[in-house]
Chain A
Amino acid sequence: MGRIEWAMWANEQALASGLILVAGGIVAVAAQFKGWPFAAYSIAAGVFVCLLEYPRGKRKKGSTMERCGQKYLTAVVKIFGPVTRNYYVRAILHAALAVPAGFLLSTILGTACLAIASAIYLLAAIRGEEWNPIEQKKPPERPPVGGGTIKQPPSMPPPRPPVETRKKQPLEEAAQENPIPVTSEAE
């Protein structure tokens, strides 16, 4: 268990919690339940959490799978520097965002899920993990072959040894002992 990166799991949980908050909020606002301002808040909080958590952070070891189209949001999240890089900040932020949604029945599950995500982020922060953006890699410039003097592919084949030395060794003299007889496919 030494090399588990908890932040990645917390990220998935936070994204799912954001969606649950939005769903619960929409139901309550549409049905105009008592206390629907809480539901309107939970929709806003859910959208914010989804946008913040959509860009996946870079793993310490190995390559990271990017989410579809996350590079635009990565650019935005990167701007805030240490606030979004630090996971303690995220843990506290998610815990704070989760609390108001707990007062309404339809968003109470979103609260519970976001609270769990916040706890896992706290664990990740204690273990020193950080959010690093996945940089877009430019294709590496290929250095010119031969120092830039070769411009055209070769037109003549390379020189070969004379015909007698190119004859193949017969099968009976082959080094390997085949348990099952094989037939050679003569050229």
Chain B
Amino acid sequence: MALCGKSWLANEGSKHLCLLFWFSLNVGLFWKTFLLYYHGPQYYYLHQMLGLGLCISRASASVLNVNCSLILLPMCRILLAFLRGSQKVASRKTRRLLDKSKTFHVTCGVTICVFSGLHVAAHLVNVLNFSMNYTEEFLALNAASYRGEDPRKLLFTTVPGLTGVLMVLVLFLMCTASTYAIRLSDYDIFWYTHNLFFVFYVLLMVHVSGGVLKYQINLEEHPPGCFHPNTSLQEDIPVPGSFEEPFPEYSPEAFPPEPEQFVEKNFVGICTEEPKFQSHFPETWLWISGPLCLYCAERLYRYFRSNKPVTIVSVISHPCNVLELRMRKENFKARPGQYIILHCPRASALESHPFTLTMCPTDTKATFGVHLKIVGDWTERFQDLLLLHSRQNTEILPNFHQRNYPKVYVDGPFGSPSEESLNYEVSLCVAGGIGVTPFASILNTLLYVSPTHLKPFSQ
């Protein structure tokens, strides 16, 4: 039993610890933001107008900020491959966490969907309240132009409203195309809709620049709920239950009141001036700019690195519809277990497909190879393009330089969990069919690398 627990802790413990950390980060942010808008004096008048909808919408927005920034990190494949490869940077346990990067991405995605639903619901209530609780006292605070303005007009004619609606529709498309059934049957739909994420981020950055929700900046001169000698405040705004008694006995020693105490003790002071409101700085820009820049930099790097076509050395047909493709590329280095993404414009202009390397380039041999199983339409077209040309030219020009192979571009290599097999004393590798490809590259490495570097195992 003790061994079971110890082994669980060693294998699964760090993964669950990370998840717990992420979960508590989200819960903490939600709670902190909720309390800020519920009790914060700078939001006193806004809270009176909008009620609970304000707090829930802002709290869910802060959770969305975190998740929209974290969701990009597992997709930075070059960075992950680098972390996997450098044994000095990360310990074996940390590297094992990288195996769960896709699951983390999915978790963040689901959280974004759920909290977007909450955010939208809360903001719809806010829109209704902006319209119903239009205040003549603090005109700057209003989003509506007059009392009782159609909330749908507010939704579709303001910048945050319109971008919000468009973002929900983009999220809906991305979400429905990412279900397991769709990915299994029509991966293309998933891939093309998921690339809409860029539209989503652009809309997000415009959405937060709207500046509809404002906070009060002159709290010293105008403590919220203070007594104005000439007019009485809060005549038109319906007062929530906790603020039933805003004007108790006027106590001179309470001026200026501490913001955290005023709600409970209901101290008021004299207003020296009207409240002034200002829009927030878009916090979301700070959250998402880092990961977004990192991701864009990575995509650019991948694009420039994969722009040079590879030289196809040979094409071998194996039984059971398997094709082996051997290639050469300058400055291409890969470790056993990694995979590459092949792009052949003649087969398809938009599609590119990942394949595990079955043979990695070594110090003496620069050739690397992949084994492909011909299953779908892209692999069939690719096979036709490769074999047709070799068949055509066999009788006339046997020299491989003369063969008219289609141009193939290689993106990668990227890391995978099977890279770790050589870092353990004992590795048990189980695979079937085309799944044997990562282990083929490991076996090839064992054959060609000197035994002093690795310990080869029999059987």
Contacts and interface: CB of A to CB of B under 8 A. Distances in A.
A and B part of one assembly: yes
A4 B182 CA distance: 10
A70 B387 CA distance: 45
Contacts of A183: 458
A62 interface: yes
B181 A12 contact: yes
A89 interface: no
Contact of A9 (B120, B186, B376): B186
Given A105-B155, A112-B169, A16 B175 contact: yes
A180 B446 CA distance: 10
B172 A105 contact: no
Nearest to A61: B185
B176 A16 contact: yes
A94 to B, nearest CB: 14
A3 interface: yes
A112 B152 CA distance: 14
B173 A106 contact: no
A182 interface: yes
Contacts of A62: 185
Interface string A161-187: 000000000000000000110110000
Contact of B172 (A64, A65, A113): A113
B363 interface: no
A59 interface: yes
A90 interface: no
Interface string B431-459: 00000000000000001000100001010
Interface in A17-57: 23, 27, 33, 56
Contacts, number: 70
A64 B184 CA distance: 9
A1 interface: yes
Contact of B182 (A2, A9, A109): A9
A180 B152 CA distance: 77
Contacts of A116: 169, 172-173
Interface in B363-418: 376-377
A8 B185 contact: yes
A179 B447 contact: yes
A50 B140 CA distance: 44
Given A112-B165, A112-B169, 16 more contacts: A1-B188, A3-B186, A8-B181, A16-B175, A16-B176, A33-B128, A56-B181, A62-B185, A65-B184, A105-B124, A105-B152, A109-B168, A112-B168, A113-B172, A116-B169, A116-B173
Top 6 nearest A-B pairs (CB, nearest first) are A12-B176, A13-B176, A65-B181, A4-B186, A9-B189, A113-B172
Interface of B: 117, 120-121, 124, 127-128, 151-152, 155, 165, 168-169, 172-173, 175-177, 179-182, 184-186, 188-189, 350, 376-377, 447, 451, 456, 458
Interface of A: 1-6, 8-9, 12-13, 16, 23, 27, 33, 56, 59, 62, 64-65, 105-106, 108-109, 112-113, 116, 179-180, 182-183
